[in-house]
């Protein structure tokens, strides 16, 4: 594990280096606080640090204060080395952001024991972060396909539509449904059906850009949101998605299966709709039309044409 030593006294620094290298640490050594802060700010910087209290350019508590302002990087466990022994000094160092302190002259056994405590704290923090991220992923993603779940993909669509209206851009919405998927489950079983859904999810992700959104909308329905997409290319993009599924059979434990998808497509620029429910409703109608027209095809949601008729003609 990497550890940073910051001490302007060369002899003390060398002694610390040898002690910690014997314990198996990868030691990074600097002689002033400014360099210490630079090392601790690196993306792969040390997460254990021994800082002398008194250093040129920036003292130990000053380094602690600056490091604690960096909320976007992993936690750094900091031990202050000081010859100060008053409670006021200890409180000052801890309030500056230090996790522990060690008075000089330090004892090697005590030093390594305190650093092991620091490692255990960092390991605990890493496990908590991992658990938090796991819970966040489970709350926002479909457990079978790992795509965004329905709540999240609809929320992302709503946010994108708001941004599109503000910037006068265009969002393309696709609602796709696998054709005759019930027959797959009835004939081959739900295990194979799950295989199909996972592979469809993988192909859908591969058919869009990294900043587009793909979510599982329902059982075998998928919602795709294309950001900043040219309205004129909406159908062509949907055909690419459809062909990415239809042109190649899916490999399953029961052998290759031909699978197709019907898609309803809507370009936000063609519609003066403000509610996400309205957008989804019109896209769903286009999908229904694709199903009615024989499946494995794309249908574009078109707004009704309004004709301007002179009032006197109506009368």
Task: Please write down the HEC assignment for all residues of the chain.
Answer: CEEEEECCCHHHHHHHHHHHHHCCCEEEEECCHHHHHHHHCCCCCCCEEEEECCCCCCCHHHHHHHHHCCCCCCCCEEEEEECCCCHHHHHHHHHCCCCEEEECCCCHHHHHHHHHHHHHHHHHHHHHHHHHHHHHHHHHECCCCCCECHHHHHHHHHHHHHHHHHHCCCCEEEEEEECCHHHHHHHHCHHHHHHHHHHHHHHHHHCCCCCCEEEECCCCEEEEEECCCCHHHHHHHHHHHHHHHHCCCEEECCEEECCCEEEEEEEHHHCCCCCHHHHHHHHHHHHHHHHHCCCCCEEECCCCCCCCCCHHHHC
Question: 296 and 242 share a domain?
Answer: yes
Which pTM was predicted? 0.72
pLDDT reported for residue 236: 95
pLDDT reported for residue 305: 60
Please identify every residue annotated as catalytic: 220
Burial 181-210 (b: 16+ CB within 10 A, else e): beebbeebeeebbebbbebbbebbeebbee
Question: 191 and 52 share a domain?
Answer: no
Q: Of 138, 162, 183, at which residue does a domain stop? A: 138
pLDDT reported for residue 311: 37
Q: Of 111, 138, 165, at which residue does a domain stop? A: 138
Question: 281 and 156 share a domain?
Answer: yes
> Is 311 a member of any domain?
no
Question: 19 and 105 share a domain?
Answer: yes
What's the CATH code of the domain at 289?
Answer: 3.30.70.270
pLDDT reported for residue 310: 46
Q: Is the torsion defined by CA of 288, 294, 298, 300 positive or negative?
A: negative
Q: Of 97, 116, 138, at which residue does a domain stop? A: 138
Distance CA 167, CA 218 (A): 30
Question: 264 and 155 share a domain?
Answer: yes
Question: 154 and 111 share a domain?
Answer: no
Question: 175 and 97 share a domain?
Answer: no
> Is 143 a member of any domain?
no
Question: 190 and 242 share a domain?
Answer: yes
Distance CA 84, CA 90 (A): 8
> Is 308 a member of any domain?
no
Q: Is the torsion defined by CA of 271, 276, 282, 286 positive or negative?
A: positive
What is the number of domains present in the chain? 2
Question: 21 and 41 share a domain?
Answer: yes
What's the CATH code of the domain at 7?
Answer: 3.40.50.2300
Question: 34 and 7 share a domain?
Answer: yes
pLDDT reported for residue 84: 72
Tokens of 234: 């909406």
Tokens 């060369």 label which residue? 10
> Is 314 a member of any domain?
no
Question: 238 and 267 share a domain?
Answer: yes
> Is 309 a member of any domain?
no
> Is 144 a member of any domain?
no
Asked whether 70 and 97 are in contact (CB, 8 A), the reply is no
> Is 307 a member of any domain?
no
> Is 74 a member of any domain?
yes
Q: Which domain holds residue 117?
A: 2-138
Question: 154 and 296 share a domain?
Answer: yes
Per-residue pLDDT of the chain (315 residues; tens, 9 = 90+): 999 999 988 888 899 999 999 999 999 999 999 999 999 999 899 999 999 988 988 999 999 999 999 888 889 999 998 887 777 878 888 888 999 988 888 888 999 999 999 999 999 999 999 999 999 999 999 999 999 999 999 999 999 999 998 998 999 999 999 999 999 999 999 999 999 999 999 999 999 999 999 999 999 999 999 998 888 899 999 999 999 999 999 999 999 999 999 999 999 988 887 789 999 999 999 999 999 999 999 999 988 764 444 434 433
């Amino acid at each position: 594990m990497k550890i940073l030593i910051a001490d302007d006294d060369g002899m003390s620094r060398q002694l610390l280096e040898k002690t910690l290298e014997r314990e198996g640490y990868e030691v990074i050594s600097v002689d002033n606080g400014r360099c210490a802060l630079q090392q601790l700010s690196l993306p792969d910087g040390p997460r254990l640090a021994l800082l002398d209290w008194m250093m040129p350019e920036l003292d130990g508590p000053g380094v602690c204060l600056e490091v604690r302002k960096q909320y976007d990087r992993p936690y750094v466990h900091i031990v202050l080395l000081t010859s100060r022994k008053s409670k006021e000094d200890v409180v000052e160092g801890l309030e500056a952001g230090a996790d522990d302190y060690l008075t000089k002259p330090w004892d090697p056994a005590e030093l390594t024991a305190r650093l092991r405590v620091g490692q255990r704290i960092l390991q605990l923090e890493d496990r908590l972060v991992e658990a938090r991220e796991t819970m966040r992923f489970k709350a926002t993603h479909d457990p079978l396909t790992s795509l965004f779940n329905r709540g999240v993909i609809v929320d992302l669509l709503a946010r994108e539509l708001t941004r599109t209206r503000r910037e006068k851009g265009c969002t393309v919405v696709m609602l796709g449904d696998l054709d005759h998927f019930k027959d797959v489950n009835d004939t081959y079983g739900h295990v194979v059906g799950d295989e199909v859904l996972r592979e469809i999810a993988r192909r859908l992700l591969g058919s869009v850009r990294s900043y587009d959104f793909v979510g599982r909308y329902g059982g075998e329905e998928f919602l795709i949101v294309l950001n900043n997409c040219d309205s004129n290319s909406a159908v062509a993009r949907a055909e690419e998605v459809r062909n990415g599924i239809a042109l190649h059979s899916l490999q399953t434990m029961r052998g290759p299966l031909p699978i197709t998808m019907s898609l309803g497509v809507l370009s936000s620029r063609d519609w003066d709709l403000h509610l996400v429910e309205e957008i989804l409703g019109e896209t769903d109608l286009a999908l229904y039309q694709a199903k009615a027209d024989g499946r494995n095809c794309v249908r574009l949601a078109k707004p009704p044409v309004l004709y301007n008729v002179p009032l006197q003609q109506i009368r």
